[in-house]
Amino acid sequence: MSNSKPKAWLAEFLGTFLLVFAGTAAIVVNDLSAGAITQVGIALVFGLIVAAMIYTFGEISGAHLNPAVTLGFYYARRFSGKHVMPYILSQCLGAISASFLLHLLFPEHASLGATLPHGALAQTFILEILITFMLMLTIIQVATGAKEIGNLAGIAIGGVVACAALFAGPISGASMNPARSIGPALISGNLTVLWLYLLGPTLGSMLAIVSCRGVREKNCCR
């Protein structure tokens, strides 16, 4: 089973590293270039890099790239519990490494693309639950077992990430991914609301699995 091997953990590290680096670099460069990339561009960067990483690492690790996704697969009984922590640790280390490199490149930037609320905390919390729900519901339907693979998986999942970033990004930052939020928060010191981006996506992922069980008679969970 490929996702039981250190190669899968390395794939999760590299995939999350590249996801967080590309996505948050788009935010940083947009800030430093007076909006040259735009919110639409940032959303496209996140969607495209997610799709690319799914096609790159899907066969090796499943390309979870996200602790909420790993926990969702585990809750759906598609992923062994003994591999949950190595996956989550690999993802978080990848995200932290990406943010550290971004800090070296752009030390003048204060947030390094951290997810920060631009509205009320309750508003952001609900948005993070809903957009992660949307993401995980898509993933659980298009994934093969606990792997995000297949001709359409990258397009579908990357499209959902871009869509969520377009409409929710200006308010919540559209994290959907605790690792994506942990990296820049730790390196930039923006830790005050990090809990929101850990709890919201996790709840959204769990709700997606519950909903999948409610609408499908088979193939959602084992």
Q: Is residue 179 part of a domain?
A: yes
Structural domains counted in the chain: 1
Q: Is residue 58 part of a domain?
A: yes
- Give the pLDDT of residue 166: 98
Rounded Cα distance, 188 and 185, in Å: 5
Q: Is residue 128 part of a domain?
A: yes
- Give the pLDDT of residue 151: 80
pLDDT at 58 over 80: yes
Q: Is residue 221 part of a domain?
A: no
Residues forming a β-bridge with 144 = 147
Is residue 222 very low, low, confident or very high in pLDDT (cuts 50, 70, 90)? low
Is residue 221 very low, low, confident or very high in pLDDT (cuts 50, 70, 90)? low
- Alpha-carbon Rg for the chain, nearest whole angstrom, is 16
- Give the pLDDT of residue 217: 55
CA atoms within 13 A on the CB side of 191: 3
Residue numbers of the domain that contains 78: 2-215
One-letter-per-residue 3-state SS of 82-134: HHHHHHHHHHHHHHHHHHHHHHHHCCCCCCCCCCCCCCCHHHHHHHHHHHHHH
Is residue 68 very low, low, confident or very high in pLDDT (cuts 50, 70, 90)? very high
Record the tokens describing residue 131, joined without a space. 């957009």
- Give the pLDDT of residue 152: 87
Which pLDDT tens digit goes with each residue over 72-117?
Answer: 999 999 999 999 999 999 999 999 999 999 999 999 999 999 999 9
Quick check: helix, strand or coil at residue 152? coil
Rounded Cα distance, 190 and 176, in Å: 17
| CB-neighbour burial class of residue 163 (10 A; exposed 0-12, middle 13-18, buried 19+) | middle
Q: CA separation (Å) from 143 to 15, 17, 100, 113, 147? A: 17, 22, 31, 29, 6
Rounded Cα distance, 158 and 47, in Å: 4
- Give the pLDDT of residue 70: 98
- The domain that holds 33 is classified in CATH as 1.20.1080.10
Is residue 3 very low, low, confident or very high in pLDDT (cuts 50, 70, 90)? very low
Q: Is residue 68 part of a domain?
A: yes
Rounded Cα distance, 64 and 181, in Å: 15
The mean predicted confidence, pLDDT, of the chain is: 94
Which pLDDT tens digit goes with each residue over 159-203?
Answer: 999 999 999 999 999 999 999 999 999 999 999 999 999 999 999
Q: Is residue 98 part of a domain?
A: yes
Q: Is residue 31 part of a domain?
A: yes
Is residue 2 very low, low, confident or very high in pLDDT (cuts 50, 70, 90)? very low
pLDDT at 218 over 70: no
Q: Is residue 81 part of a domain?
A: yes
Which pLDDT tens digit goes with each residue over 6-33?
Answer: 999 999 999 999 999 999 999 999 999 9
One-character DSSP codes across 18-30? HHHHHHHHHHHHH
